[in-house]
Chains A and B, each alone.
Chain A
Amino acid sequence: MAFDIKGILSPFKALNQMGKHPHTVKFPYEEKVTAPRYRGLHFNDLEECIGCGTCSTICQNKAIDMINIEGIDPSSGDTGLRPRVDNGRCCWCALCVEVCPTGSLSLTTDYIYVTEDADSFLWTPGVDNPEGKEKKSFVSDSEHSLLEYARVPMRELEGSERVKSFAEVVLGYSEEEARKEAERCIGCGICTDNCPVHMHIPEYINAIAHGNDEDAIRIIYDNNPLGETCGKVCTRRCEEICAISKRGEPVAIRWLKRYATERAANEEMVKEIVNPTILPPNGHSVGIIGAGPSGLTAAYYLAMRGFNVEIYESKAHAGGMIMYGIPKYRLPLDSIDKQIEYMESIGVKIHYNTMVGKDVTLEELHQKHEAVFVGIGFEKPYSIGLTNEEAEGSIQAVNFLRAINSDKHVEIGDKVVVIGGGNVAIDAARVSRRLGADVTILYRRRVQDMPADWEEIEGAEDEGVHIKPQAIPLELITNENGRVVAIKYANAEMVPDPKGGRPRPKIIEGDEHIIETTAVIGAIGQEADYSFISEKIKSQIEIKRGRIVVNESQQTGVEWLFAGGDIANNRADAISAIADGFRATKGIEKFILNKEN
């Protein structure tokens, strides 16, 4: 190439391009068709969105704020808020889309947005463009999402190994596993709404994720002194609504709590780490009946506030149903001891083997203490209502479990039938397996109707428990010595409930069967024993369907009498009892200190 004639003429070849159709779209005469994964204006499926705010958290341009929208109310698992995008700040990076746990948020093929009004740059996806649903282009399916939808699996003993002893089934996360599982959390905090005591879940999970286990322990103990119990046996309502569960397995909140609390190996370590601020004695005194989760929780926080707290417990050991109901392969004794000893170490006094109504009266307690909290739980089993129910070989599950948990021998033989479908039934069945029996559960409805935790049901099946659904027990058959030797039941079909409720079992006439058995264990529910409450007091408090009615600070109709736990809430689990105890603390403190002024 050089400065020559060829070089002077060659540019003229450009003339042959004249009249060619340009590639560029002639807007507005032509419309540009955007690519299938185009990143245009946002769309949000308002029904799918749960208002978790993760989109807003990740946006590095702070383009998203979460707003209330008419017609969308907060509900369990949904904050009721929805994202609003400032189109003046957005750069359409779609990071918000990539981290949206529900997949409700996407970008669309729309890209034209013109307005004279700067305020209208605020754009509520889904509200401002309902038609966007048909134009979704950049989406995050679970494969592309940046979130991790699979849980770090929990290691457990093999089913065949488990039935050989009462060793703890769940082995717990290692440090590495816990960090990895905790990292999955998006910190939206939706879970805390469903937790009866509103534990600071995202905060302690975040602490675990970042290797600060001791912080996690402190955060847990802030409103739950039985965190380790909950880490092992909680019914985990939190996990039910975990945002990640919309497309995957919820974060293992319970196992993470277990991991953290177990890091403090004994009560001294708990005390050292939690290092609670205990106010000096304030001269006031509170009596607590029952050392179950509700009573213990109330006692713990009241003791920290400087109250003299005395628990009256009829049994030799504290813990209530978590001690005498829940089997030790789920919640070992040394774990319970560690938690109780820690509470005692900060000033909670427990009078063991002291039954209110027998060893001391409620009136005496009232004289001694300014307020009394009742947390006696449901200990009296319902009768199963079958002939020969009183016969030898017919046992009640809570009595059976209490005996086993107290290291007593119970003769159940080698062929056990359990009646019921709740957690107590499953516990009785799994304990029976550990005592060497062949076990069958008879349940009236379908397996999917069982109120028991699905993990418990699976655990039972792994251990060889037979579950016979749609089986209605008819009578217990005894031998000449009056001992139960068999149970008669009928198969049932499910019929729709005329009132629109869940389908009901109806006996199939003539479809009756007999199972030989060495013991029948009834597990269809319990109630409270209020015999220690005088008629005078009973007339001033309200008892509805077996439960004492309380206000939002757990106060009964008698101002110095507070109640909580199974006798006051119908969720009947440990965490609800803990929540009641926690609320009662505030109620009792307010009641006593107000009286003083």
Chain B
Amino acid sequence: MREKETTIYLGPQHPGITGNMMVKLKVTGDTIVSAETHVGYLHRAFEKLMEARTWLQCFPIVCRICVPEPDPNEENLSRVIEEIEGREVPERAKYIRVLVLELSRLATYLLWMGGQSGSMGLYTMPQWTVGDRDYILDLFEQLTGGRVYHMYIWPGGVRRDLPEGFGDKVLKVMDYLEKRLKDYDDLLFNNALFYKRAKGVGVIDKAKAQEWGVVGAPLRGCGIKHDVRIDEPYEVYDKLNFIVPTYEGGDVWARAMVRRQEFEQSISIVRQVIENMPGGDFYNKIPNPLNWRVPPGDAYVKTESARGEFGYYAVSDGSLKPRRVHARGPAYVHGVSLLERILQGANIADVSFIMNSLGTCPPEIER
């Protein structure tokens, strides 16, 4: 007997959707025939808003492009301006920026672990990782004054120097997380049920991956070594030792394993940064922000965010405000076009499981 095709609307309000978007599914039985993504619930016109704001006033906006991982946005906007301006950044500031970006990666991966586990019903994991993420947020609070939105990396360097004794506090948290990683292994990464659920699910075709614009862990999970930190190093990544793990298979499992290894790499990077942190200035002051004109020009910069390559393009016409800022994040490709493809043939229960594995971020898709 042929089963009847039905339509299911998943989202825009759904705990398994990583933000507000909707996936319209055509299913026969439990199997997805086709998926159609619907975004538009979170559009805040950030790029347009920036055209009406002075350069510095854009900073409190861009961090809101991605809630779980705001820092790459600050980093990109800073670097794109510095690139147009030709502004030097002190070495210490570069190290501090890497520290922030790696802490941010760790925090994001902790949230991802929670989401990935939660979307298959393993609810202990999010309890742990959200709690453990708080240790990192505590560090951010001490460093930047804010837990989630830091508004800390800005043109010319960073906003404040490291507080007294900050390095030691960071190292303590790194030791803790390293220890905790064993617990995460026991509960998630070595969990046979997770393996069973993730292996062969949400497979990305390696041959097509780059053509489709897949980046980050999803690409590395296809066995393709691609990481902006290595390929086009920025800040001081070229002075640090770390590897870029890759896994074959292109499935949820491979993506999870890539992130699991990267988590360890980030801990190592943070330790190296603390150890090699140079002295000196943390900031090469911009002119009075009310009169700060960025010379005419344009630039494109990119950063390896926890979700993959994240670029910013900016144009200055020499005035007080940007002519155009464009944020090119990985979420559009991963969460819209790629998701629609790889959901075909998947189970309904796998939708949010796959979305999580792709690092889909609706706020970033829409900006």
Contact = CB atoms under 8 A, between A and B. Distances in A.
B20 to A, nearest CB: 20
A17 B60 contact: no
Interface stretch (B26-34, B92-100, B145-153, B340-348): B145-153
Contacts of A10: 185-187, 190-192
Contact of A185 (B57, B145, B196, B291): B291
Interface in A7-64: 7-8, 10-11, 13-14, 17, 22-24, 34-39, 54, 57-58, 60-61
A39 B145 contact: yes
Contacts of B61: 60
A35 B60 contact: no
A6 B146 contact: no
Contacts of A39: 145-146
A593 interface: no
A211 to B, nearest CB: 9
Contacts of B56: 58, 95, 146
A13 B145 contact: no
Contact of A35 (B54, B124, B145): B145
A7 B192 contact: yes
Nearest to A57: B290
Interface stretch (A75-83, A86-94, A302-310, A315-323): A86-94
B183 interface: yes
Contacts of B185: 10
Interface in B273-292: 285-292
B287 A183 contact: yes
A571 interface: no
B49 to A, nearest CB: 9
B131 A23 contact: yes
A99 to B, nearest CB: 7
Contacts of B190: 1, 6-7, 10
B44 interface: no
Nearest to B125: A14
B87 interface: no
Contacts of B14: none
A137 interface: yes
B132 interface: yes
Chain A interface, >50% SS class = loop
A209 B145 contact: no
Contact of B191 (A11, A94, A144): A11
Interface in B178-207: 183, 185-187, 189-193, 195-196
B289 A1 contact: no
A36 B142 CA distance: 7
A2 B124 contact: no
B186 A13 contact: yes
A8 B134 contact: no
B167 to A, nearest CB: 16
Contact of A34 (B141, B151, B195, B289): B141
A91 B60 contact: yes
A60 B134 contact: no
A473 B56 CA distance: 60
Contact of B60 (A14, A61, A137, A184): A61
Contacts of A14: 124, 183, 186-187
B291 A183 contact: yes
B192 A2 contact: yes
A286 B186 CA distance: 98
Residue with the greatest number of chain B CB neighbours at <10 A, chosen from A10, A60, A183: A60
B251 to A, nearest CB: 13
Contact of A92 (B54, B131, B142, B146): B146
Contacts of B195: 1-3, 7
Contacts of A186: 288, 290
A187 B291 CA distance: 9
Contact of B131 (A24, A60, A91, A138): A24
Interface string A179-209: 0101111110000000000000000001001
B145 A37 contact: yes
Contacts of B131: 22-24
Nearest to A244: B288
A147 interface: yes
Given A7-B191, A24-B131, A37-B145, A93 B59 contact: yes
Given A14-B187, A60-B53, A93-B60, 16 more contacts: A3-B195, A10-B185, A10-B186, A10-B187, A17-B128, A36-B163, A37-B142, A37-B145, A37-B163, A38-B141, A61-B60, A94-B151, A146-B56, A146-B288, A148-B288, A184-B291
9 contacts: A1-B195, A3-B196, A10-B185, A13-B183, A14-B186, A144-B159, A148-B285, A183-B288, A184-B288
Interface of A: 1-8, 10-11, 13-14, 17, 22-24, 34-39, 54, 57-58, 60-61, 91-95, 98-99, 107, 137-138, 144, 146-148, 180, 182-187, 206, 209-210
